[in-house]
């Protein structure tokens, strides 16, 4: 996360804490269990949440100095992040195109796995919503490199800080850096503050 949170980051954190974070008993896609669950799509597919997501991701890419002709990730977690970022970047006058990575190649038509922006050699940023084991992020990294993209950075909205996710993604992304806008602890702390004001 950038040293001092931008206004967009602060707004997105508050929205994730209010809309996407739940306490309870949950089974994760990794098969593990947790006392909390984060469904980022409740924020990234919300009209105001999409704006906050796009603004925060664009701000992070600019702050990191990443050259990004396009942004993309594995469907479905990345989809709303990609669209929001592309739209906001265009509105700001420095467009970042979007692409999506299918979980498997199409068995019809052109049979491609990368949809949308497709320029070999282009500098791209890989995005995901939540990083637990890092499996979906790694799939996107591998597919992007196989296609011929040059990865300048990898970004997720929330890092769960468990299951070796960060280490797994850093290894797959190297030499590109991996950053998380927030940790699960950041979102939990903001959620507790939100509950206290209800």
Q: Which fold has domain 7-197?
A: Rossmann fold (3.40.50)
State how far the Cα of 41 lies from the Cα of 77, in Å rounded to an integer. 7
Question: Rounded to two decimals, what is the model's pTM?
Answer: 0.92
pLDDT value at position 4?
54
Q: What is the DSSP letter of 114?
A: E
- What is the token pair recorded at 25? 């008993």
Separation CA 64–CA 75 (nearest Å): 24
Q: What is the pLDDT of residue 106?
A: 60
Which residues, in sequence order, are bridge partners of residue 132?
Answer: none
Mean pLDDT by 10 residues, the chain (198 residues): 70 97 87 90 97 97 96 97 98 97 71 92 98 94 97 97 90 97 97 90
Residue boundaries of the structural domains of the chain: 7-197
């Amino acid at each position: 996360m950038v040293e001092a949170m931008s206004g967009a980051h602060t707004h997105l954190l508050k929205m994730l804490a209010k809309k996407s974070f739940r306490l309870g008993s949950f089974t994760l896609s990794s098969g593990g269990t947790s006392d909390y669950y984060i469904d980022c799509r409740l924020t990234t597919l919300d009209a105001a949440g999409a704006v906050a997501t796009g603004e925060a991701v664009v701000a992070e890419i600019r702050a990191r100095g990443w050259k990004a002709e396009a942004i993309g990730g594995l469907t479905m977690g990345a989809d709303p992040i990609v669209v929001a970022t592309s739209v906001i970047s265009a509105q700001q006058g420095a467009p970042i195109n979007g692409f999506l990575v299918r979980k498997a190649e199409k068995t019809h038509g052109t049979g491609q796995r990368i949809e949308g922006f497709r320029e070999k050699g282009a500098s791209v940023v890989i995005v995901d919503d939540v990083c637990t084991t890092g499996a979906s992020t790694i799939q996107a990294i591998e597919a992007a490199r196989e296609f011929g993209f040059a990865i300048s950075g990898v970004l997720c909205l929330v890092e769960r800080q468990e299951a070796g996710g960060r280490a797994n993604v850093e290894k797959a992304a190297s030499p590109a850096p991996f950053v998380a806008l927030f940790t699960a602890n950041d979102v939990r702390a903001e959620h507790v503050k939100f509950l206290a004001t209800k």
